[in-house]
């Protein structure tokens, strides 16, 4: 029998329950929703978590769509799933944990005696470290972004190639291969020997069905390739960026994009104009470096210096 919090499952069964991480301000227990899918046959363990950022719902959509399709009697190995990591942020549909104003994916591996975010990170990290592979489902928050997968360890990390392989298997078509900030699960778990990726499933307010389906395909690819399920997976070449350049607004006004998400841009190609409300172009911003238009703001209005878009640079294919 495998257990995760109050969820448990015998071989060939699915169990759901709660992973206790503390109490709310009125003393009510806080339990993250968890699921165990215990395969009829032995095999690897995959850990999947979603909504580490409380406004990033596409990963929850992936679990909601994909888990009913996984038949435990056909499965080899174990799936351990935490459906909502940022419990407090999810209640209010905000990115950070409002109790301690912290971004959860900056405090891994967490602290059992720490703040609410550190305690949640610790509790989920104890699950992640038991696994053979980890998927930490994210998205570009509520901005607009292509579907991509991030590798957050450095290229010199001993697990870099294993993470790169996992990203290729997930197979959204785009990979950002760039060491991430301290405290990310996709950095902390590889330090414990567990290959981990950070699929970034588009960007949306609420659900984006196209990005959710990309995530469902990615999860099913992982289950097939690593022999949890008996289906063949053909690996496709992935477009990889190793740099990421932010562009901010040089003037206040309204942004008008000159390239679409996913477009290849060359050095000095126009990325966007900033116009006044009467349509007069005040500034045009060009790509300082060639690459792929990767992410952009959702709302058109900007103040001087405000974030507008990001270009994935240093692009190749693997």
C-alpha to C-alpha distances, 167 to 28, 129, 151, 238, nearest whole angstrom: 39, 19, 8, 9
Which C-beta is closer to Zn ion: that of 53 or that of 273?
A: 53
> DSSP code of 199?
E
Fill in the DSSP letter of residue 79: E
Give the residue with the Cβ less far from Zn ion, 37 or 60.
60
- If the CB atoms of residues 38 and 200 are measured against Zn ion, the closer one turns out to be 200
Closer to Zn ion by CB, 103 or 240: give it. Answer: 103
Helix, coil or strand: residue 72: helix
User: Which are the contacts of 28, defined by CB distance < 8 A and separation ≥ 6?
Assistant: none
Q: Which residues of 80-104 are buried (b: 16+ CB within 10 A; e: fewer)?
A: bbbbbbbbbbbeeeebbbebeebbb
DSSP assignment of 273-292, as one string?
EEE-TTS-EEEEEE-SS-EE
- When the beta carbons of 38 and 56 are compared against Zn ion, the nearer one is 56
Closer residue to Zn ion, CB minimum distance, 52 or 238: 52
**Which is nearer to Zn ion, 17 or 202 (by Cβ)?**
202
Q: What b/e readout covers 256-272, taking b as 16+ CB neighbours within 10 angstroms?
A: ebbbebeeebeeebebb
- Please give the residue whose beta carbon sits closest to Zn ion in the complex: 138
CB closer to Zn ion, 2 vs 142: 142
In the structure encoding, which two tokens stand for residue 174, read together? Answer: 């785009």
CB of 250 to Zn ion, least distance (A): 28
| Segment holding 1, helix H or strand E | none
CB of 32 within 8 A of CB of 88? no
Q: Which residues contact 141 (CB under 8 A, 6 or more apart)?
A: 53, 55, 56, 95, 203
Q: Is the CB of residue 292 less than 8 Å from the CB of residue 174? A: yes
Instruction: Fill in the DSSP letter of residue 85.
Output: S
Q: Which of 236, 248, 243, 237 is nearest to 291 (CA)?
A: 243
Contact residues for Zn ion, defined by CB under 5 A: 53, 56, 138
């Amino acid at each position: 029998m495998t257990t995760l919090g109050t969820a448990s499952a015998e071989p060939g069964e699915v169990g759901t329950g709660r992973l206790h991480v503390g109490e709310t301000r009125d003393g009510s227990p806080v339990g993250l929703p968890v699921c165990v899918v215990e395969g009829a046959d032995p095999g690897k363990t995959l850990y999947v978590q979603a909504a580490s950022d409380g406004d990033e719902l596409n990963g929850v959509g992936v679990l909601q769509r994909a888990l009913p399709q996984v038949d435990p009697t056909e499965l080899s190995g174990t799936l351990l799933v935490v459906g909502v990591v940022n419990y407090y942020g999810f209640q209010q549909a905000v990115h950070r944990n409002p109790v301690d104003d912290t971004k959860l994916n900056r405090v891994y591996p967490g602290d059992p005696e720490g703040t609410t975010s550190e305690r949640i990170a610790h509790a989920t990290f104890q699950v992640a470290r038991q696994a053979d592979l980890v998927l930490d489902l994210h998205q570009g928050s509520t901005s607009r972004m292509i579907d991509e997968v991030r590798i957050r360890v450095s290229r010199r990390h001993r697990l870099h190639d294993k993470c790169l392989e996992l990203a290729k298997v997930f197979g959204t078509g785009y990979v950002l291969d760039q060491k991430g900030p301290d405290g990310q699960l996709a950095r902390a778990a590889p330090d414990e020997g567990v290959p981990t990726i950070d699929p970034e499933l588009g960007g949306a307010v609420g659900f984006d069905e196209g990005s959710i389906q990309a995530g469902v395909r990615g999860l099913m690819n992982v289950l097939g390739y690593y022999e949890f399920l008996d289906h063949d997976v053909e690996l496709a070449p992935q477009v990889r960026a190793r740099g990421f350049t932010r562009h901010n607004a040089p003037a206040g006004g309204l942004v008008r994009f000159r390239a679409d998400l996913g477009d290849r841009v060359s050095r000095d190609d126009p990325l966007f104009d900033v116009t006044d409300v009467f349509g007069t172009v005040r500034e045009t911003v060009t790509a300082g470096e060639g690459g792929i238009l990767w992410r952009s703001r959702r709302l058109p209005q900007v103040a001087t210096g405000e974030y507008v878009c990001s270009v994935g640079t240093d692009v190749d294919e693997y």
